[in-house]
Structure 1
Amino acid sequence: MDVEVILPAEPVTLAPGVATRVPVRLRNAFGPEVGVRVSVTGGRVGAWASVEPATATVASGATVTVDLVLHPPADQPPSGSLMPFTVQAAADGAPAGFATGLLSVARPVPVVGELVARTGEPHTFDLRLANDSDGPAAIRLEARLDPPAGHVTTEPGAALLEPGDTLTAVVRARPTRPIMGAAQPYAVLLSVTDAHDPQRPPLFTATGTGRRPPRVTSLAAGIAALVLAVAATAAVAVSGARLPLPGRARTATQAAAPPTVTPVAVGRPFALVDVFPHRGADGGRAAAEAERGRLAAAGMPVRLVDSLASDQLADEGAGFWVLLQDGFATPAAAAAYCTQWRTLAPKCTVTS
Structure 2
Amino acid sequence: MDVEVTLPAEPVTLAPGVATRVPVQLRNEYGPQADVRVSVTRGRAGAWAPAEPVTATVAAGATVTVDIVLQPPADQPPSGTLLPFTVQAAIDGTPAGYATGLLSVALPVPVVGELVARTGEPHTFDLRLANDSDRPAAIRLEAKLDPPAGQVTTEPGAALLEPGDALTAVVRARPARPLMGAAQTYAVLLSVTDAHDPQRPPLFTATGTGRRPPRVSSLAAGIAALVLAAAGTAAVAISGVRLPFPGRARVAATTPAAPPPVTPVVVGRPFALVDVFPHRGADGGHAAAEAERARLAAAGMPVRLVDSLASDQLADEGAGFWVLLQDGFASPAAAAAYCTQWRSLAPKCAVTP
What TM-score, normalized by structure 2, do the two folds share? Answer: 0.93
Q: Kindly indicate whether residue 164 of structure 2 is the aligned counterpart of residue 198 of structure 1.
A: no
Mapping for residues 241-260 of structure 1, pairs under 5 Å? 241-243=241-243, 248-249=251-252, 255-260=256-261
SS, match of residue 188 in structure 1: strand
Shift of 1:75: 1.2
Aligned to 1:163: 163
Corresponding letter in the other structure for 2:266: A
Aligned to 2:295: 294
In structure 2, distance between residues paired with 1:91 and 1:287: 87
Shift of 1:115: 1.0
Aligned to 1:217: 217
Mapping for residues 127-276 of structure 1, pairs under 5 Å? 127-243=127-243, 248-249=251-252, 255-276=256-277
Shift of 1:191: 0.8
In structure 2, distance between residues paired with 1:192 and 1:90: 46
In structure 1, distance between residues paired with 2:15 and 2:344: 58
Q: What percent of counterpart residues are identical?
A: 86
Aligned to 1:42: 42
Q: Kindly indicate whether residue 314 of structure 2 is the aligned counterpart of residue 313 of structure 1.
A: yes
Shift of 1:160: 0.6
* Alignment CA distance shift 1:244-1:183 (3 Å): farther
Q: Encode CA deviations 1:41-65: one digit per residue, 9 max, x unaligned.
A: 1111000111112222233443322
Shift of 1:134: 0.7
* Alignment CA distance shift 1:25-1:214 (3 Å): same
Aligned to 2:88: 88
Shift of 1:225: 0.6
Q: Give the conservation status (yes or no) of the 8 Å contact 1:25–1:63.
A: yes
* Alignment CA distance shift 1:35-1:209 (3 Å): same
Is the deviation greater in 90-99 or in 44-53? 90-99
* Alignment CA distance shift 1:52-1:150 (3 Å): same
In structure 2, distance between residues paired with 1:34 and 1:348: 77
Corresponding letter in the other structure for 2:229: A
Corresponding letter in the other structure for 1:261: V
Q: Encode CA deviations 1:146-171: one digit per residue, 9 max, x unaligned.
A: 11111100000010100000000000
Shift of 1:94: 2.3
5+ long unaligned stretches in structure 1: none
Q: Give the conservation status (yes or no) of the 8 Å contact 1:178–1:214.
A: yes
In structure 2, distance between residues paired with 1:260 and 1:39: 73
In structure 2, distance between residues paired with 1:244 and 1:80: 79
Q: Give the conservation status (yes or no) of the 8 Å contact 1:244–1:250.
A: no
In structure 1, distance between residues paired with 2:26 and 2:281: 69
Shift of 1:6: 1.8
SS, match of residue 79 in structure 1: coil
SS, match of residue 281 in structure 1: coil
Aligned to 1:12: 12
Is the deviation greater in 118-127 or in 1-10? 1-10
In structure 1, distance between residues paired with 2:345 and 2:91: 83
Is the deviation greater in 284-293 or in 142-151? 284-293
In structure 1, distance between residues paired with 2:65 and 2:55: 11
Q: Give the conservation status (yes or no) of the 8 Å contact 1:224–1:259.
A: no
What TM-score, normalized by structure 1, do the two folds share? Answer: 0.93
SS, match of residue 287 in structure 1: helix
Shift of 1:186: 1.4
Q: Give the conservation status (yes or no) of the 8 Å contact 1:221–1:259.
A: no
Aligned to 1:283: 284
* Alignment CA distance shift 1:60-1:296 (3 Å): farther
* Alignment CA distance shift 1:63-1:300 (3 Å): farther
* Alignment CA distance shift 1:346-1:66 (3 Å): farther
Corresponding letter in the other structure for 1:199: Q
* Alignment CA distance shift 1:347-1:55 (3 Å): farther
Shift of 1:201: 1.6
Q: Encode CA deviations 1:213-270: one digit per residue, 9 max, x unaligned.
A: 110122321221122112211221222124578964456xx74342321111100111
* Alignment CA distance shift 1:272-1:102 (3 Å): same
SS, match of residue 172 in structure 1: strand
Shift of 1:295: 2.7
Q: Which runs of 4+ in 1 moved over 4 A?
A: 243-247
* Alignment CA distance shift 1:301-1:31 (3 Å): farther
Corresponding letter in the other structure for 1:160: L
RMSD over aligned Cα atoms:
2.0
Shift of 1:181: 1.2
In structure 2, distance between residues paired with 1:94 and 1:264: 82
Report the number of matched residues: 350
SS, match of residue 321 in structure 1: strand
In structure 2, distance between residues paired with 1:48 and 1:337: 66
